[in-house]
Chain A
Amino acid sequence: MRNIAIIGSGPSGCFTAQGILKLRPDWQVDVYDKLPVPYGLVRYGVAADHQGTKNIVRQFERVFTRQGARFFGNVTLGQDVTLDQLRDAYDGVVLAAGLAGDRSLNFDTADGVIGAGALTRALYDHPDAPDLPDIGGDVVILGNGNVAVDILRLLAKGETEFNGSDLSPRATQWLTSRDIASLTIIGRSAAQSAKFDPVMIRELGKLEDVSIRVDDPLSGDEKGLEALRSIDGLNTGSRRITFSFGRQPKGIETQDGKITGLSVETEQGSETISCDALITAIGFCSDASVDRDALIESAEAIDDGHLAAGLYAAGWFRRGPRGTIAENRTDSLALAARIVQDIEQNLDCEKMGQDVLGLSTANMVTYQGWQRINEHETTQAMAARCRTKIHTRAEMLHQASTIKEVN
């Protein structure tokens, strides 16, 4: 028997646990998360109206209910426990803490500028998210990845288009009562090099109340261009959407501390796109809760996820903010095989596991605690919703410890 700790219960942490336990069913794998609830960006990043993608959690549930992994939520690395403590207690420690910070532009910020990570966390009821911002008027979304398209789609939907989602009443109200005059999505590169998935673009063709214009010559047979052509000129209603490419952001213009425009450089020269709000969806970075840079710099073999003796990195924490759930799976399963091999070669491991950490169990949420939260969120779901999330830590902790009468 060996003891493994995984920090982060997002896809990369859960797939690493799944992989290790498939190879060594008798090992003890403990998955920690700073939140009281598991699954990372599957819960707080994957769009509320893409419930099919969230089905992946059925695999993760089994990691805890059948494969024997333990979940310990509401435990923050760097706060409730240190990396050295974990490395003393466990034969292997895997950092799968993701990258939660929004990459920012290289120029000053202002009121009306918000990062995509902060916005999506607020929309999806993340307990540590800021309040939903007050935005409206002409809205610019900067970025050409899938996250930018998610935000565009959400802002363009009407009330009934959220049926079946897990969007909260607060977020639904916020999204559908915005006084938005126009939505412009801006990419730095040309249309044919945009990073978004063509299917994400084609999905916009189903929107019920939009008029879409793609502001770029669109010749070429790339799949992305084909998808853009298929929605160009779509006119089902009043919300105006414009796609604009080849515009390198140079700075913002402000008045009284509030954004009024985005200056961009194009092949034809500079221009200013006037706007009342700017949503930046240009990538993610470390939120500094763990000293990632130092760990990555001193890594033994970062491409294999090997940081130091008995210490590993997985997922976005290792690779940077690129790649889908599928790519995390491939990576994490390979990492699991490597961990098993390394640890079995090292005969003097056999550490004591969680007991020696002396963690206070009072506020720790176990998998059973999560099941109570899950049960509450799904049985108390509002009409036309598959779930209504609890959005404060206090209420999560309360529900986790509330034992329901079975009648």
Chain B
Amino acid sequence: MDVTILYGTETGNAEMLCEDIQAALEDAGHDVLMENLSDVNPTDLDIARVYLVVCSTYGDGELPASAKPFAEAMKDAPDLNGLRFGVFGLGDREYETFNLGSKQIEEMLIGAGATLITERVTHDASGSDMAEDVALPWAETVLATVEAE
């Protein structure tokens, strides 16, 4: 499958996680591109690919720095009908605003007509799970769901 992993990050954790997801999906035979949300314009998104969006939360429930320009561009209401995507969120339950960043991204994309494949999955930095242990099964589920359609 043709997959693009997009990450939104402030301190690099999401980027590192995406490198792991990319390696695992490539091993499974997929064609995988990886891009920072800061380098992506919503109108560049390609409905022939499946998008895996990995995004952290920063400040007080806000988007991380690298996702902000993308969110700004989403205000121009691009038409993303037919786009299939999954969302994985990085956050920390010590904050009351747990994972509101990944939630914002999800709502934005749905609002523009894109289709969410399986529910958003989140990681808690204060919990005991390693992010990749939660994220790899999520990525596989998203792709399996698309494949089954």
Contacts and interface: CB of A to CB of B under 8 A. Distances in A.
A52 B60 contact: no
Nearest to B15: A59
B16 interface: yes
Nearest to A202: B96
Given A325-B11, A326-B65, 8 more contacts: A15-B12, A52-B92, A53-B125, A59-B12, A197-B59, A223-B60, A329-B10, A329-B12
B23 to A, nearest CB: 11
Contact of B16 (A50, A59, A203, A223): A59
Contacts of B16: 58-59, 62
Contacts of A198: 60
Q: Which 6 A-B pairs have the closest CB atoms?
A: A52-B125, A52-B92, A52-B126, A326-B10, A55-B125, A326-B11
A56 B11 contact: yes
Interface residues of A, number: 22
Contacts, number: 44
Interface in A40-62: 50-53, 55-56, 58-59, 62
B94 interface: yes
A199 interface: yes
Contact of A59 (B13, B59, B92): B13
Interface of B: 10-13, 16, 58-60, 65, 92, 94-97, 124-126
8 contacts: A56-B12, A56-B13, A199-B97, A223-B60, A326-B11, A326-B65, A329-B10, A329-B12
A203 B12 CA distance: 24
B147 to A, nearest CB: 31
A322 to B, nearest CB: 17
Given A62-B16, A199-B60, A223-B60, A51 B10 contact: no
Interface in A3-59: 15, 18, 50-53, 55-56, 58-59
A164 interface: yes
A149 to B, nearest CB: 14
Interface in A159-189: 164
Interface in A41-91: 50-53, 55-56, 58-59, 62
